[in-house]
Amino acid sequence: MAALLVAVIALILPGSAAARTDDNQAHSDHWGVIARNTIGSPVAELRNGPYGPFGVTGAAARPPYGRGSLGIEVADRSTTLTPPSEKVDFGNEVDFFGKQLLGLRRVGFHVFQTRENVFDYGGGPTNMPNIRFEIDPNVTSMPTDDYSTLVWVPTASPVTSGWSPFLDATRTGYWYLTGGETTCNQAAQCTFAQLKASFTNVNARPTVYTVAVGKGRDFMWIGAVDGLRLNDYVYDFERDGVKVLHSK
């Protein structure tokens, strides 16, 4: 692991804030709360655990990678804005910039879900965090449109008191774009395959600005995420930073 991190750091240009954008070039220092996408006073913090809850054993009782995870806490009625709920994005604004979105083949994560998130906070089984890509849609017919957010909304976790197995965003849940650049929007949700086809149908070559794990603005949620997968790399959230693991 130490050798891998040294190799990653060595490939970043000395004295420059810019990093290469290969799949495995994600510098730990470039991960954090994206301030401009955060509303209210939510928490998105690298932490140890969570372990448990009490009485739970096996894979559901511990983080899937290492000892830590990304802890997330958002509230539903805590601001004077409309809607009044909080929002947070924890991500990387540097290392994925300029990558071709349609090169995304594998994506997903693990979630620490609680019964309270499901039954007490109003969101039900699909009260879950998201994966978000800020992108330049590059739609030929919309030359002045240079921004949209691509969002993956997971289905319900099969585990409601502990860590889920890997939730595969290419096979489960749905995707949408916030800017209406393709047929995939909040009113017409798409599978991963349909999403890719929707870009091809409008002759688009979308590129990535940022990658993030986020929650809000909707229901209260308190839990954790680990093992964010992007193609052949897993981003392991640990208390001392984000580790890059190669995984086929």
Using H for helix, E for strand and C for coil, what is the string for 79-127? CCCCCCCCEEEEEECCCCCCCEHHHCCCEEEEEEECHHHHHCCCCHHHC
Query: In sequence order, which residues have a C-beta less than 8 Å from that of residue 3 and are 6 or more positions away?
Result: none
Query: Is residue 100 pLDDT above 60, yes or no?
Result: yes
Instruction: Please give the model's pTM, rounded to 2 decimal places.
Output: 0.89
pLDDT of residue 27: 76
Q: What is the pLDDT of residue 248?
A: 73
Q: Which two tokens stand for residue 70?
A: 């990304």
Position 160 pLDDT exceeds 60: yes
Tell me the pLDDT band of 104, cut-offs 50, 70 and 90.
very high
Domain limits, the chain: 21-246
- Asked if pLDDT for residue 235 goes beyond 50, the answer is yes
Nearest to 131 by CA among 71, 215, 189, 209: 215
- Checking if the pLDDT of 217 tops 90, the result is yes
Q: Is the pLDDT of residue 168 over 70?
A: yes
State yes or no: pLDDT of 15 exceeds 50: no
Q: What is the pLDDT of residues 120-156, one digit of tens each?
A: 999 999 999 999 999 999 999 999 999 999 999 999 9
Instruction: Write out the DSSP string of 201-229.
Output: HTTB--EEEEEEEEE-SSS-EEEEEEEEE
